[in-house]
């Protein structure tokens, strides 16, 4: 079958060039007579891949020397626990800004570890349709850190600028929008991202951390969960997920080849503009519940007049090769995830289908 | 380049059939128009892979209904921490049997979490050359559990029968020898294994756990680290490492096709017998430091008269396509890792080279 137009929310579509490169050298990488998966994580062939992946992340995001790039396991769900385990002292509290389901999960895990202050919860009425303004945040100047979720895959909302947290470290779950555009990494104490949306396959977690923050982390937790362990060992303390790291390398190389993050931003804005215009220009047939200014350029959510029409829309779109459009089971509706690897042509095809369907 | 004879200790060689299957459907699995990596972990295509992988593990190991098969992340190193986090209460102690470097690492992490009793340490003199006898173990009848490492990749030793721990749960790190032969799973409270030796690529941890033990686990730790979370969600609580699970499925299918674990055992014993005979029959040119009865059928370690000759041996073997034979940096010497996926022909080629080299 020809490749479909894949709007999956994550694991998501990957650049074809990254996949084809992997397929072509699947049994024999670099003339070594074996798959990258069969190489020791401490051997030269894999180490070159590992270090190139890190170097490409550093280059694309212009990561400053103050910060370290880590390649870990366990996804954002594990970071929900290890962030407070490392940085939330027994006599402290951490600020959490709640903008969607994933923020709530981060709060739940943090509460098991220590004391949490909800600096803002925009979904108190049960619906997450916006990002809060700076003045709404009840930030504690003595907080251990402030935690935000930069993009909300289920709600379809996204922070377009980040809050000012003064001298308190800002920690961000960027699982679903990291590298959608250039970023000032220096503003963050720690950034984490499950790879499976914008940058690679599942099974790999990218962490970018301020080394000064790491040095102040707790030392009474298992070594495997201390960020300092992984900073000190270039993420080779234990066996890394070598194939997912290899795929990250391939995706980063493809992003660089395509013009880097400035090019990603330009294309992502064009895709989102096209799709939101089609929704807003449909005389109310398609409706996006998210407020203007808070709308995600990664996950575009919208509704049709009835759930029955939504199910019919998804079925007919699938028949045309537009797949993965069903909204999250908790909210229903339609969701088009248009990460970096989704080309403009797919969004054009979706918009064309939406007009036809209406 | 033609595929080499790969004696890497892990990540290690994988069955060629499993790799070729992956390569052929790398861009399009099951006629879905996308890679398995691009499928949602909650979609039908991936779920079929996930459930088949678990079913094959259950079938090959004859896992009883009392036990659950989990697909997790973080490798054995993370299990070193999560085992005591789940099962070691504040007023309890756990028994650890130390037979090599990995056992020691397990002890280090457990000591951060709670109280540890070293039931036996066969390497007190700095060398791990044997597995202890039952009567040497100073087991605490009130221990939370007894922890063993069934195969020692660096020392080259292996438990050929497992200790009797009475009513105390036996927990085993089987990272480097799981599925080398049939196993009575019912004797274990928990088995864990980083996949990257006998059963798949790195980035995936297989856990087999007694559901009754899990039900008694601690509830004051983050949900992501509770085994009960993963038992309750069929390992789909968070996003699983989909491609490593897919590769596990392919490897399990290849093992089944090759005759299952009885066939693995027969072949593994034949390979080990051939190699140890060559060592023991070399008039002392090759010497294995491990005591008879404790020698590993997975990692065969041996020495030549001098470190210089060992380096020369490795270089000349590599030139003949016999790769990965250098011993672990902490002990030196030669190590031939001959996991399930290493065919008898490779061991025959190695033995032939050893005779020629001598």
- Answering whether pTM is above 0.90, one says yes
Residues B65 and B114 in one domain: yes
pLDDT tens readout for residues B304-358: 999 999 999 999 999 999 999 999 988 999 999 999 999 999 999 999 999 999 9
Is the residue at B206 inside a domain?
A: yes
Shared-domain flag, residues A296 and A347: yes
Contact A77 B224 (CB under 8 A): yes
Q: Do B162 and B228 have their domain in common? A: yes
Q: How many CB pairs (< 8 A) connect A and B? A: 220
Give the CATH number of the domain where residue B269 resides: 3.90.1150.10
What single string gives the DSSP state of each residue in A282-294? Answer: STTSSB--SPTTS
CATH code assigned at B97:
3.40.640.10
Residue pair B239/A73 in contact (Cβ under 8 Å)? The answer is: no
Same domain, A116 and A193: yes
Asked if residue A145 is part of any domain, the answer here is: yes
Contacts of B194 in chain A (CB under 8 A): 239
Same domain, A80 and A151: yes
pLDDT at A1 over 80: no
B residues 279..308 contacting A (CB < 8 A): none
Kindly state whether residue A7 falls inside one of the protein's structural domains.
Answer: no
| CB B316 within 8 Å of CB B357 | yes
Domain boundary among A207, A225, A257: A257
Same domain membership, residue A105 and residue A168 = yes
B230-250 pLDDT tens trace: 999 999 999 999 999 999 999
Are A232 and A88 contained in the same domain? yes
**Claim to verify: residue B197 and residue B278 sit in the same structural domain:** no
Q: Single out the residue in A257, A272, A295 at which a domain terminates.
A: A257
* CB-based contact, A356 to chain B, within 8 Å: no
Query: Is A346 marked active-site?
Result: no
A57 falls within a domain: yes
Q: Say if residue B225 is in the same domain as residue B250.
A: yes
Examine the fold and report which residue of A257, A283, A318 is the final residue of a domain before the chain moves on. Answer: A257
Contact B95/B143 with Cβ under 8 angstroms? yes
The beta-carbon neighbor of B41 closest among A4, A202, A324 is A202
- Determine the pLDDT at residue B2: 82
Do B281 and B325 reside in the same domain of the chain? yes
Out of A1-10, A113-122, B206-215, B294-303, which region has the weakest mean confidence (pLDDT)?
A1-10
- B211 catalytic, yes or no? no
Write out the two tokens for B1. Answer: 């380049």
Bridge pairing between strands B146-149 and B170-173: parallel
Which of B2, B22, B202 has its CB closest to that of A41? B202
In a domain, A6, yes or no: no
Average pLDDT over residues A298-314: 97
Q: Which domain holds residue B130?
A: 17-257
Cβ–Cβ contact A202 with B under 8 A: yes
CA pair distance A338, A312, nearest whole angstrom: 21
Residue A72 lies in a domain: yes
Disruptive mutation site among B29, B241, B323 for chain A (greatest number of A CBs within 10 Å): B241
DSSP-H helix ranges across chain B: 16-24, 44-61, 75-87, 101-113, 211-215, 227-232, 242-257, 260-280, 307-319, 344-357
Q: Are B326 and B309 contained in the same domain? A: yes
Residues A109 and A168 in one domain: yes
Q: What is the pLDDT of residue B124?
A: 85
Q: Would B9 be classed as within a structural domain?
A: no
Quote the crossing angle between the two packed helices A16-24 and A242-257, to the nearest 10°: 130
User: ipTM surpassing 0.95, yes or no?
Assistant: yes
> How many structural domains is chain B composed of?
2
- Of B8, B202, B225, which has the smallest distance from its Cβ to A240's Cβ? B202
CB contact under 8 A, B324 and A241: no
In a domain, A243, yes or no: yes
Interior angle at CA A191, CA A77 and CA A107, nearest 5:
40
**Catalytic status, residue B102:** yes
């Amino acid at each position: 079958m020809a490749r479909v137009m894949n709007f999956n929310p994550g694991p998501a579509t990957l650049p074809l060039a990254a996949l084809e490169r992997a397929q072509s050298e699947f049994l024999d990488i670099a003339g070594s007579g074996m798959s990258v998966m069969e190489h020791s994580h401490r051997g030269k062939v894999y180490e070159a891949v590992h270090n190139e992946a890190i170097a490409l992340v550093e280059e694309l995001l212009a990561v400053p020397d103050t910060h370290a790039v880590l390649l870990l396991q366990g996804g954002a769900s594990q970071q929900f626990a290890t962030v407070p385990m490392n940085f939330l002292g027994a006599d402290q509290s951490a600020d959490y800004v709640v903008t969607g389901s994933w923020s709530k999960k981060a709060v739940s895990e943090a509460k098991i570890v220590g004391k949490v202050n909800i600096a803002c919860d925009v979904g108190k009425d049960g619906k997450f349709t916006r990002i809060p303004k700076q003045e709404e945040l009840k930030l504690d100047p003595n907080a251990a850190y402030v935690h935000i979720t930069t993009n909300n895959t289920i709600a379809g909302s996204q922070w377009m600028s980040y809050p000012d947290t003064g001298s308190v470290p800002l920690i961000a779950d960027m699982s679903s929008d990291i590298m959608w555009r250039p970023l000032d990494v220096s503003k963050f104490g720690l950034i984490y991202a499950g790879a499976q949306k914008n940058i690679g396959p599942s099974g790999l977690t990218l962490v970018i951390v301020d080394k000064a923050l790491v040095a102040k982390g707790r030392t009474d937790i298992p070594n495997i969960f201390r960020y300092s362990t992984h900073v000190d060992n270039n993420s080779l303390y234990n066996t890394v997920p070598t194939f997912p790291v290899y795929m990250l390398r391939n995706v980063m190389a493809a992003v660089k080849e395509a013009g880097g993050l400035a090019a990603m931003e330009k294309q992502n804005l064009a895709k989102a503009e096209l799709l939101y215009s089609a929704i807003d220009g449909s005389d109310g047939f398609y409706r996006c519940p998210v407020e203007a200014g808070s709308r995600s350029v990664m996950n575009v959510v919208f509704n049709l007049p009835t759930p029955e029409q939504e199910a019919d829309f998804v079925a007919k779109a699938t028949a045309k090769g537009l797949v993965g459009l069903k909204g999250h089971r908790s909210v229903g509706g339609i969701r088009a995830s248009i990460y970096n690897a989704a080309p403009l042509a797919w969004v054009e095809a979706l918009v064309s289908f939406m007009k036809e369907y209406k």
